[in-house]
Amino acid sequence: DKVHAPVVILGTGLAGYGVAREFRKHDTETPLILITSDDGRSYSKPMLSTGYTKDTSADDLAQLDAGSMGQQLRASVWTMTRVTEIDTAAQVIKVGDAQTAIHYSKLVLALGAQVIQPPIGGDGAELVYSVNNLLDYDDFRTAMKKNNVRKVCIIGGGLIGCEFTNDLLNGGFEVEVVDPLGHCLPTLLPEAAGKAVQAALEEKGATFHFGPLVTEVNKAEQGVVVSLNNGATITADLVVSAVGVRPRIDLAKASGIETNRGIVTNRLLETSAPNVYALGDCAEVDGHVLVYVAPLMAAARALGQTLAGEPTPVVYPPMPVTIKTPACPVVVAPAMGGVEGAWQIEADGHNVRAEFRDAGGMLLGFALTGEATRAKLELQKALPAILP
Ligand code: FAD
């Protein structure tokens, strides 16, 4: 029956394991099941883009395997198991071939985000990698070795593209980056700050192509040839695609749960279906899609209490994001979508202090590079909370 049925969490990333841990602080008795389509090893996803700097293999990054996580959480962890259907009326999920059905008392969707696949032609797709989980990371590292890679072409100059650029340069590789927009981290930084990151990475040896789109990747005698829509070509041994991620909403949508950019929730992390919750990269919490670690930790703390019977709304303080480009450190606190304001910028070489303020002078966001990152705490204190 529904009351004695387990709490079920879909996903064992930082959000899934995080909420399981928080739940167990308040409830040690209720049966708990975690289900994941990967191998269930726990790891810190941000470390996937520092692997050459820190010389870490996938096994180095894996903290505990699924069995040990299950023991620690007094939970059953089902690995390599894809959930294909949620019957929100009967409170049942179906896994794999849909032969197995599990009743839940409460269900948590912690399904993460999926990489956006740009429409790229050519016959070189097998040498195009995206790195969004530990298994991808293992494949990527293996391919780098096996193909004797010396030069990598990165598609996308955003957060993940720039972090991989810096990391691969640190690893001694040659790197060329293509982005259709005008500067590094174009959706997060004003131009002056993006140009500072670009200059610092160029000094370390990177080459950037801003403006064009990649149209094709084709096999060459050695590695691949990457074609751009401005007629230029880039030769490389391997390609990393890093054009961004989008919340994984398909399963929720197909199950009749309300979705928008992400799986829609209120501040209690409740979705439109009774006893179904969402958090992490897959969720749109009170209008906010924030695909970073700090928001999912805040959500996990609140939801852990809610699942244990103490309804607790999530609070999002200001949460600046640190971008792991040590050639030019970056801290950015994007302004909330839709707010009106203007950038005020002070620039001195790689050090850029950019403050986004409204007409009344109120600070709404900021972007800091180089030594200007020292102002992080001071500015963070002046920012309004995202969800007070
Ligand atoms: P995920 O870790 O993606 O977990 C999703 C889980 O759902 C997985 O276990 C998957 O197997 C499972 N799943 C999916 N579909 C199904 C299904 N149908 N059935 C069963 N299971 C399913 N953030 C920061 O704040 N700072 C950083 O420095 C930073 N660096 C990053 C660097 C890189 C290279 C990347 C890729 C991301 C980075 N991020 C960073 C973002 C951060 O890592 C993510 O916000 C966070 O890890 C998301 O966790 P999650 O648990 O929501 O999703």
Tens-place pLDDT, residues 138-188: 999 999 999 999 999 999 999 999 999 999 999 999 999 999 999 999 999
Is the per-residue pLDDT at 356 higher than 80? yes
Does ligand 1 have an atom closer than 6 angstroms to the CB of 102? no
The whole-number pLDDT of residue 3 equals 56
Q: What confidence category does residue 40 fall into, taking pLDDT thresholds of 50, 70 and 90?
A: very high
- What pTM was estimated for this model as a whole? 0.97
Query: Looking at residues 87-103, what average pLDDT do you find?
Result: 90
Does ligand 1 have an atom closer than 6 angstroms to the CB of 50? no
Query: Looking at residues 311-318, what average pLDDT do you find?
Result: 98
The whole-number pLDDT of residue 96 equals 77
The whole-number pLDDT of residue 253 equals 98
More confident residue, 1 or 335: 335
Atom 42 of ligand 1, nearest CA residue: 292
Tens-place pLDDT, residues 114-129: 999 999 999 999 999 9
Is the per-residue pLDDT at 386 higher than 60? yes
Q: What confidence category does residue 99 fall into, taking pLDDT thresholds of 50, 70 and 90?
A: confident
Does ligand 1 have an atom closer than 6 angstroms to the CB of 36? yes
Is the per-residue pLDDT at 325 higher than 70? yes
The whole-number pLDDT of residue 57 equals 95
Tens-place pLDDT, residues 102-114: 999 999 999 999 9
Query: Looking at residues 207-233, what average pLDDT do you find?
Result: 97
Query: Looking at residues 324-350, what average pLDDT do you find?
Result: 95
Query: Looking at residues 20-26, what average pLDDT do you find?
Result: 98
Per cent of the chain over pLDDT 90 is: 96
Mutational pocket test of ligand 1: of 80, 293, 316, 331, the residue with most ligand atoms within 8 Å of the beta carbon: 293
Query: Looking at residues 238-255, what average pLDDT do you find?
Result: 97
Per cent of the chain over pLDDT 70 is: 99
Is the per-residue pLDDT at 329 higher than 70? yes
| Ligand 1 nearest atom to the CA of residue 83, by list position | 19
Does ligand 1 have an atom closer than 6 angstroms to the CB of 136? no
Tell me the average pLDDT of the chain: 96
Mutational pocket test of ligand 1: of 41, 44, 111, the residue with most ligand atoms within 8 Å of the beta carbon: 111
Tens-place pLDDT, residues 55-84: 999 999 999 999 999 999 999 999 999 999
H, E, C per residue of the chain = CCCCCCEEEECCCHHHHHHHHHHHHHCCCCCEEEECCCCCCECCHHHHHCHHHHCCCHHHHCCECHHHHHHHHCCEEECCCCEEEEECCCCEEEECCCCEEEECCEEEECCCEEECCCCCECCCHHHEECCCCHHHHHHHHHHHHHCCCCEEEEECCCHHHHHHHHHHHHCCCEEEEEECCCCCCCCCCCHHHHHHHHHHHHHCCCEEEECCCEEEEEECCCCEEEEECCCCEEEECEEEECCCEEECCHHHHHCCCCECCCEEECCCCECCCCCEEECHHHEEECCECCCCHHHHHHHHHHHHHHHCCCCCCCCECCCCEEECCCCCCEEEECCCCCCCCEEEEEEECCEEEEEEECCCCCEEEEEEEHHHHHHHHHHHHHCCCCEC
